[in-house]
Amino acid sequence: MSEQLEHTGQPRRVVVAGAGMAGVQTAVALREQGFTGAVTVIGAEPHQPYDRPPLSKAVLLGKAEDSAFDVDFAELDVELRLGVEVTGLRAADHEVDTEAGPVPYDVLVLATGAYPLTLPGSEGVPGVHLLRTLDDAARLRPVLEQRHTLVVVGAGWIGAEFATAARQAGCAVTVVEAAGRPLAGALPAEVAEPMAAWYAESGADLLTGARVERLAPGEVVLADGRKLPADAVVVGIGARPATGWLASSGIALGPDGSVTADDRLRTSLPDVYAVGDCASFPSARYGERLLVHHWDNALQGPRTVAAGIVGEAPAPYDPVPYFWSEQFGRFVQYAGHHAHADTLLWRGAPGDPAWSVLWLRGDVPVALLAVGRPRDLAQGRRLIEAGSVVDPGRAADPAVPLKAAVR
């Protein structure tokens, strides 16, 4: 890249593919860190770049019109090319291809996020929705307003948040989950099973162990033959990195479809970084490669990317992952990353209005789930970050602040 460097030692032109949280934050972080070259952000969606979490909350309920980022791109001297899909990467030429022609780069940042999985055979069936984009939310808003009878497929984070909003809007809601409990992929049975009660409490029917056989206009047919009436169906069964367009680029991808970045978020191709929902990274903290599909990762990762681009030799990217979810009137927060073998410790009981669960490896906290206990989350996150050793007896006492359980 040396011939493309200015006398400052910085590249002249950074191109960012993807105008979501990670792409926009990359542009912002570049300017914050003193990058003076050209920055172009290319996004497939036509809308002004926006934040996704409100889509399943305020935007869905019509309490907010949109969730555009409060970023002045002109002021930052960042060029936005919206409604333009990036279709390919030719690393040898330092160019990406777009529908509007090739775009040269000195440094490229991949931030194309993730796309939602669909149910096979559901394409083109009227009344079947996903919830990933502003357009999806705009299509769903009148469905909620009309108080339709809805079936939600998948009791994960998105399914739970959508069901919450739909119940609030007065819709009849049935949630169909193939696993035996909500959030089966994310939380152990002991923690997730009590959450099933939240659905019932809100007036939503949760059917677990229920597989969808097919979606037909006006109904959902389950594998056991049951037929559920549905004016509309919302499918929330997970997301995969949006990296299909990189297939012939020669870039290293993982089995999960993520761009396998290193601990500075550099990819296997020279001068190409990857960040946000589309990228996985090796975590020394957790001893495994992580693919994180949460907002905080799309905020933090760009700072590492920008530091690398401006030549700051950043510290390895090894965050304590964090996310929140607002469901059934509860504020649910999770920090860290737990494994099956970690010891689970309750602070409070699942029937309580607020409780937390801490995962310990040895006596060191590695993850924490807090329901309505934001102070536990804040303190636990710091303990996890610091690798502090705690007294398990005190840490299990909800009356003892977590930070006071440190040994």
- For the CB of residue 205, give the shortest distance to ligand FAD in the complex, in Å: 22
- Identify which range of 140-148, 199-207, 289-297, 363-371 contacts ligand FAD by CB under 6 A: 289-297
Q: Does 234 engage in binding with ligand FAD (CB under 6 A)?
A: no
Contact indicator for 263, 282 with CB cutoff of 8 Å: yes
- If binding means CB under 6 A, how many residues of this protein chain bind ligand FAD? 36
- Identify which range of 41-49, 148-156, 189-197, 219-227 contacts ligand FAD by CB under 6 A: 41-49
What tokens appear for 28 in the block? Answer: 């912002």
Residue of 42, 110, 153, 402 that binds ligand FAD (CB under 6 A): 42
**Partners of 206 in the β-ladder:** 175
Task: Give whichever of 213 and 385 is closer to ligand FAD, judged by the CB atom.
Answer: 385
- C-alpha separations of 254 from 110, 274, 278 in Å: 15, 13, 11
What tokens appear for 121 in the block? Answer: 């055979």
What is the C-alpha to C-alpha distance for residues 2 and 388, in angstroms, rounded to an integer?
A: 44
Q: Does 298 engage in binding with ligand FAD (CB under 6 A)?
A: yes
What is the C-alpha to C-alpha distance for residues 326 and 324, in angstroms, rounded to an integer?
A: 7
Candidates 286, 321, 283, 325; CA nearest to 300 is 321
- For the CB of residue 264, give the shortest distance to ligand FAD in the complex, in Å: 17
- For the CB of residue 293, give the shortest distance to ligand FAD in the complex, in Å: 5
Q: Does 86 engage in binding with ligand FAD (CB under 6 A)?
A: yes
What is the C-alpha to C-alpha distance for residues 364 and 317, in angstroms, rounded to an integer?
A: 21
What tokens appear for 322 in the block? Answer: 């964090």
Residue of 69, 323, 331, 346 that binds ligand FAD (CB under 6 A): 323
Q: Does 132 engage in binding with ligand FAD (CB under 6 A)?
A: yes
What is the C-alpha to C-alpha distance for residues 68 and 201, in angstroms, rounded to an integer?
A: 33
Residue of 156, 276, 314, 365 that binds ligand FAD (CB under 6 A): 276
The torsion angles phi and psi of 138, rounded to 5 degrees, stand at -65, -35
- Identify which range of 21-29, 147-155, 356-364, 383-391 contacts ligand FAD by CB under 6 A: 21-29
- For the CB of residue 294, give the shortest distance to ligand FAD in the complex, in Å: 4
Residue of 105, 199, 286, 295 that binds ligand FAD (CB under 6 A): 295
Q: Does 55 engage in binding with ligand FAD (CB under 6 A)?
A: yes
Q: Does 16 engage in binding with ligand FAD (CB under 6 A)?
A: no
Long-range contacts, 30-36 (Cβ 8 Å, 24+): 30/306, 30/309, 30/310, 31/76, 31/77, 31/78, 32/306, 33/303, 33/306, 33/307, 33/310, 33/312, 34/310, 35/10, 35/306, 35/309, 35/310, 36/8, 36/10
The torsion angles phi and psi of 268, rounded to 5 degrees, stand at -75, -10
Q: Which residues contact 202 (CB under 8 A, 6 or more apart)?
A: 163, 164, 167, 328, 329
- Identify which range of 195-203, 318-326, 369-377, 398-406 contacts ligand FAD by CB under 6 A: 318-326
Task: Give whichever of 45 and 213 is closer to ligand FAD, judged by the CB atom.
Answer: 45
Task: Give whichever of 20 and 257 is closer to ligand FAD, judged by the CB atom.
Answer: 20
Task: Give whichever of 10 and 300 is closer to ligand FAD, judged by the CB atom.
Answer: 300
- C-alpha separations of 288 from 121, 319, 337, 358 in Å: 35, 13, 10, 20
Q: Which residues contact 36 (CB under 8 A, 6 or more apart)?
A: 8, 10
Residue of 5, 32, 45, 372 that binds ligand FAD (CB under 6 A): 45
Q: Looking only at residues 150 through 169 of this chain, which bind ligand FAD when binding is defined by CB under 6 A?
A: 158
Residue of 80, 242, 366, 384 that binds ligand FAD (CB under 6 A): 242
- Identify which range of 5-13, 61-69, 109-117, 147-155 contacts ligand FAD by CB under 6 A: 109-117
Question: Quick one: DSSP state of residue 91?
Answer: G
* Max CA pair span of the chain: 70
Residue of 16, 17, 152, 307 that binds ligand FAD (CB under 6 A): 17
Binding site for ligand FAD (CB under 6 A): 17-23, 42-45, 52-53, 55-56, 85-86, 111-114, 131-132, 158, 242, 245, 276-277, 293-296, 298, 323-325
